[in-house]
A = this chain, B = another copy of it.
Amino acid sequence: MSDERTITFTNALRQAGLRLTPQRLAICRALANHPSHPTAAELFEQLRADFPTLSLATVYTTLSTLLALGLIHDLGSAGDGTLHYDPDTEPHVNLICTRCHQISDLGDETLAAVSQRVARRSGYEILGARIAYYGICPTCAKHSSRGASGRR
């Protein structure tokens, strides 16, 4: 699968002078192969099976480390009160359902043009992008029709 991405992660860690512990490797691997936009707790639960002693604190620490190295992005909360991370640092659109709080992705060629304009017009040194559209996903739209729901 995306073992390449795992290698990218681990190489970056080594280059930063950080130790490649089994925990870090596992977290990198889990992120690289994760199909979605996990939270710290989700990664923790997933890795718990293989690392019974793994601590949630370690997951948080490692995520912060990877974030600081720019290997992953912080999506902020999806309305569910917890922070989601995105292992895909390429510019893409996040689709966030305000009903089920699920996040899915969407690529768009027009985005590259937008990114270039943003960089040029803002004077920012762009490090990454978080592009999120909020709405009701087709599945939720089918299932029911609750009124506007609060957060969390």
Measured CB to CB, the residues of A under 8 A from B are: 64, 67-70, 73-79, 83, 93, 95-98, 104, 106, 108, 110-111, 113-115, 117-119, 121-138, 141, 148-151
Interface residue from B126, B134, B151 paired with A130 (Cβ < 8 Å): B134
As for how many copies of this chain the complex holds, the number is 2
Contacts of A78 in B (CB 8 A): 76
Residue pair A148, B69 in contact (C-beta under 8 Å): yes
Knowing that A76-B77, A93-B118, A108-B114 touch, tell me 19 more A-B residue pairs with CB under 8 angstroms: A64-B151, A67-B151, A74-B151, A77-B77, A97-B124, A106-B118, A110-B113, A111-B114, A119-B135, A122-B135, A124-B137, A124-B138, A125-B136, A126-B133, A127-B136, A130-B130, A130-B131, A130-B132, A131-B132
